[in-house]
Amino acid sequence: MRNIVLTGFMGVGKTEVGRELSRILGWKIIDVDDEIVKARNMTINEIFSKFGEPAFRDMETEMIRKVSQNRNVIISTGGGAVLRQENLDILREHGVIICLWASPETILKRTRGNNERPLLQVEDPLKKIKELLEFRRPFYEKADIMTETDEKSPFHIAKEILERIGCKR
C-alpha cells in the first residue's frame, strides 16, 4: 500500500486522526512540522520569527521530499504545505492525499489557547481562520479525498478514510 498523507488546516485533527490510523494499521506516523523542529532545533514560531514564512516553506518542502521516501507510513503535513504544487506532487507520487476539513468555529475551538500557531497570533483569530480557509480551499481541494471532521471522533474519521481508500483493516 502507498503512504497515507493527511493535510488540512491547523486544528482539523491531523495529529489525532494520524494516531488512530497508526494504531489501526501499525504504521509509523511522521509529522512534517515535528521533523522540521527536530532538524532545526527551533520551534515553528522561532523559525517564522527568525527566517520568515518563505524560508519555513522551503524547509517544509525539503522535509516533505525526505519523509516521502518512506513506505507504509502516515505523513501529517502542516496546514500550508498544500500551497506549493511541488509538495502535492511529491506527496502524491508516493501516497494518497487526504484533506481533513472542519468549520472555522471548530478550528477556533480546537486551537484556542495554543500559542504555537504563528498565523493565529492576531486580534481576531476567527476572522483570520476564515480568511485563510477561503484562500487555501482551492489548494486543499486538490487532495485525492476530502473528509469533514466536525463532530466526529478521530477513530470514526480514520475508519472512514480506510474505507474510502479501500483498505480492509
Q: Which residues contact 2 (CB under 8 A, 6 or more apart)?
A: 71, 94, 95, 96
**Cell numbers given for 100:** 481533513
The distance of Cα 140 from the centroid of its chain, to the nearest Å, equals: 10
Per-residue pLDDT tens over the stretch 27-51: 999 999 999 999 999 998 899 899 9
At residue 88, does pLDDT exceed 80?
A: yes
pTM metric for this prediction: 0.91
Query: Which amino acid type is present at position 89?
Result: D
> Could you tell me which CATH number the domain at 3-164 has?
3.40.50.300
Q: Which residues contact 126 (CB under 8 A, 6 or more apart)?
A: 104, 105, 108
Query: Which amino acid type is present at position 45?
Result: N
Q: Return mean pLDDT, the chain.
A: 91
